[in-house]
Amino acid sequence: MNTTVIIALIVIGLFAGLLSGIMGVGGGVVMIPLMILLLGFNQHQAQGTSLAVLAVPVTFLAAYNYYGEGYVNWKYAALIAVFFVVGGFLGSKIAVNLDQKTLKRIFGGILLIISIKMLWGK
């Protein structure tokens, strides 16, 4: 790993962590686009690496801060997590069999729909 790559990895981690703590986003919204832009990853590589980062409890301390303020429903989080595992497994089986162009279009379309909803929705 050269210095430029190390710096890019640090920037991606810090930026994703900050946005995760501030707004609850990080993986798909921040890390994947930055890995594509800064590291030259393809869509599959970026998605797989993002999932690997999140495979360990990297956001535990951030969630604990929210919990300390009374903003975490652990029962709901646990149930979502169980089905997130199932959905993640099934989704990854689909994604690894899609070509880059289709996967990028799906990813971009989802981000666009979410953006429009957040900007102009109620």
**Could you read off the pLDDT tens digit of each residue along the chain, which spans 122 residues?**
899 999 999 999 999 888 887 777 777 888 999 999 999 999 999 998 988 888 778 788 888 888 999 998 889 888 878 888 888 899 899 999 999 999 999 989 988 998 998 899 87
Q: For residue 20, what pLDDT is reported?
A: 83
Query: Alpha helices of 26-99 — where are they, by DSSP H?
Result: 32-39, 43-54, 60-68, 74-95
Spell 6-16 as b/e; 16+ CB within 10 A means b. eebeeebbeeb
d(CA 59, CA 63): 6
Please state, in angstroms and rounded to a whole number, the distance separating the CA atoms of residues 35 and 42: 8
What residues contact 36, with CB distance under 8 A and at least 6 apart? 42, 43, 46
